Amino acid sequence: MRRRIVAGNWKMNGSKDLVNSLVGQVRSEVASLDNGVEAVIIPPALFVSDVVRLAGGEIAVGIQNIACWDSGAYTGEVSAGMARDSGCDYALVGHSERRQLFGETDQQVAVKVGRALASGLNAVICVGETLEEREAGRAEEVVSAQVRRSVAEVGGDQWHQVVVAYEPVWAIGTGKTATAEDAQAMHAAIRAVLSALGAPADEISLLYGGSVKADNAAALFAQPDIDGGLIGGASLSAADFVSICRAVPGRS
């Protein structure tokens, strides 16, 4: 059975005050949900330990980026092992902001995925096309290639630690969301790519991200191949984030 995940990527936002006010509220409200959703908070790395402490094991915690290396003279970097040691369960890898603003390549993403999995983290691999690529009719080709290259180092027994987040770049932080039908079509295509690679595709959770809000989450999460969401802006409000967690359909 696939995990139903709603992960909040705070990006470079928030403060100790937000950690202190939001985590406890999300924790108590998510605990009362009976839809089996796994809530994940992914704060800036400096706040990970505080979020872990306040989450009390009831909300999972993630890191937004990890290094390509395990340790050494890489000033400013944080390794997957350190994130795991600090209580993280998840690592985002290859977010489009990392790809676009920091030049991260599919090859680096593949290495980071390998590091995350070897350290015992679940890797949330982010993929997505730009507006230009979509308008040129190349969205599926681009996303499929990103998926294939990003999982190059995944071992046969590590697929259960892999999550893929489809985030069309044109939908991130813009208020524009893919229609539930378009998102579903891409998720089905991603699942087909994973299956062709020999992965247990039916067991891998696929998340949609890009301007998911309380009022559009239910339609997206109702799609058969959309197993949850990766939430940016709306995850900075406890009420909005919990509403999105609540939009995950219950299991029948």
CB of 236 to ligand PGA, least distance (A): 9
Considering the candidates 38, 133, 167, 187, report the single residue annotated as catalytic. 167
- Burial class for 144, CB neighbours closer than 10 Å (0-12, 13-18, 19+): middle
Candidate list 43, 81, 114, 233; residue touching ligand PGA; CB under 6 A: 233
Q: Does 168 bind ligand PGA (CB under 6 A)?
A: no
Q: Which of 170, 183, 182 is nearest to 226 (CA)?
A: 183
Q: How far apart are CA 125 and CA 122, in angstroms?
A: 9
CB-CB contact of 196 with 190 (8 Å): no
Region from 15-23, 50-58, 63-71, 167-175 binding ligand PGA, contact rule CB under 6 A: 167-175
User: Which residue number, 7 or 81, has a Cβ lying nearer to ligand PGA?
Assistant: 7
The yes-or-no answer on residue 167 being catalytic is yes
Distance, first Cα to last Cα, the chain: 12
User: Which residue number, 186 or 231, has a Cβ lying nearer to ligand PGA?
Assistant: 231
Q: Which tokens in the block code for residue 203?
A: 């067991």
Candidate list 56, 155, 173, 249; residue touching ligand PGA; CB under 6 A: 173
The yes-or-no answer on residue 95 being catalytic is yes
Candidate list 4, 6, 9, 134; residue touching ligand PGA; CB under 6 A: 9
DSSP per residue, 29-49: HHHT--S--EEEEE--GGGHH
How many residues lie near ligand PGA (CB under 6 A)? 13
The position carrying tokens 């997505």 is: 128
Contact residues for 238 (Cβ-Cβ < 8 A; gap 6+): 21, 22, 25, 26, 29
Q: Does 82 bind ligand PGA (CB under 6 A)?
A: no
Considering the candidates 38, 95, 97, 187, report the single residue annotated as catalytic. 95
Q: How far apart are CA 106 and CA 83, in angstroms?
A: 21
Region from 80-88, 115-123, 148-156, 209-217 binding ligand PGA, contact rule CB under 6 A: 209-217
Residues that are catalytic:
95, 167
Query: Which residues sit at the interface with ligand PGA, rule CB under 6 A?
Result: 9, 167, 172-173, 209-212, 230-234
